Structure 1
Amino acid sequence: MLTTMCWLLVGCCGLAFVNLSVALNSILQVTQKPRFYGVKTNRIVTIFCVVSDPNQSTMVEWFKASEFNATMKKIEGDRVTVRQKNMLQNASIELSHVETEDTGLYFCRINNITWGPGTELQVLRPSHAENAERRSKMKDALIFLQALLLTLLALAPLLRHQSLLKKEDAIYEEPEHDHIYEGLEIEHCGGLYEDISMYAQPGPAEAAAAWKQE
């Protein structure tokens, strides 16, 4: 009889605990602020876990997942500061000197029952403006050199073909004048030209010899 009463008492306590948990789960509504956080490295990040009932006593835990539906791990470490809810402030987690490895999804859990909707954190390394400008100038210079090289490669066959044509014209080009007087005036060359013409004509003896040979 006593044993039966003990078991009934244990069952009632368990049922009351389950009902209390279900009631808390149905009443408490948990939100997180902000829902998205994008920062650069070495910054401080604070995520709040807000409960709908400010008078409800809560115990908050924080978990991290690499993506949705992935395995969640409880957040601990020297760079992590967890603040519980009180009358003056909401529960929160603070991450100091964040790195790119801190990128992920952060969830708060209230009283080991109710989960928050999650906050996505993205940590990016800062890009220096000078380095970005230098890379942009180098890229522009490479594009210009590449375009210049392509232009030269396209013009090279045309220039070579034109050069060959000029050489052929120079080989087969006939002189514009029959008489060339380099460094002499024409008035001074009149007698010389007549003398050359006179000697160029065959004499009577040469003409007779030519007739005899025929």
Structure 2
Amino acid sequence: MKPTITLLLCLSSYICIGQTIKEDLSDIKNKYQLIRELVETNTLRQYHTNYPCKNLPEKGNLTFYYNGNELKYIMHTYTQEHIKYRNEFYIWDDQLFFQYTTYKIWYKHLEKQRYGKYNLVDVTLTLEKRFYFKGRNIIKCQFKNFENRSNKPKKIKTNHVKNISIGCDQAQNSLKEFDDLMCFQENTIKDACNLPRSISNTESLDIIYNNTTHN
């Protein structure tokens, strides 16, 4: 096969793949918007449960949202001391198609002022991850972070911060947690404290450390 023909075939294949991913993401967006509308208008049937964690400073709750008998959305929130986690799972035909994780970290930071003085500032650091799936395959992963400080009156909101594309190493954790949560539908929560976490405590502490040392 001539090099020119080979190059054209490769280019054509690349374009087709790009178009397919774009179509998949458009489909995900449409399904997401529909489910959000159903959730926000309180249209879906809900099953809610709280759970404590023995011997751990953690508590959480799970809420399953159904359209008839079809599961559409799961919200899993939990707190660990000064960190609040929120994992959202969007489902279509029993398949996870979008997972959104956000967690907020509260801490205090001694900020150097003019003339060498220091001021104690309350900081809220927000981190978000978005995973896009087709079937069991991950097609896109995004991340953003931003912080708000008590000494700055203008608050940053998530829609003012741009997403960046990241590697998808943690996408398998999302699938694992989704599979485990599916087993908890309308059952008593026994081992929810053992559910896989979307973002580890170690990662949270690393981000706090990096922020405090660079400000």
Taking structure 1 as the reference length, the TM-score comes to: 0.30
Normalized per residue, the structure richer in helix is 1
Q: Which has the higher contact order (CA 8 A, sep 6+)?
A: 1
Task: Considering fraction of residues, name the structure with more strand.
Answer: 2
Q: Which has the larger radius of gyration?
A: 1
Q: TM (normalized to structure 2)?
A: 0.30
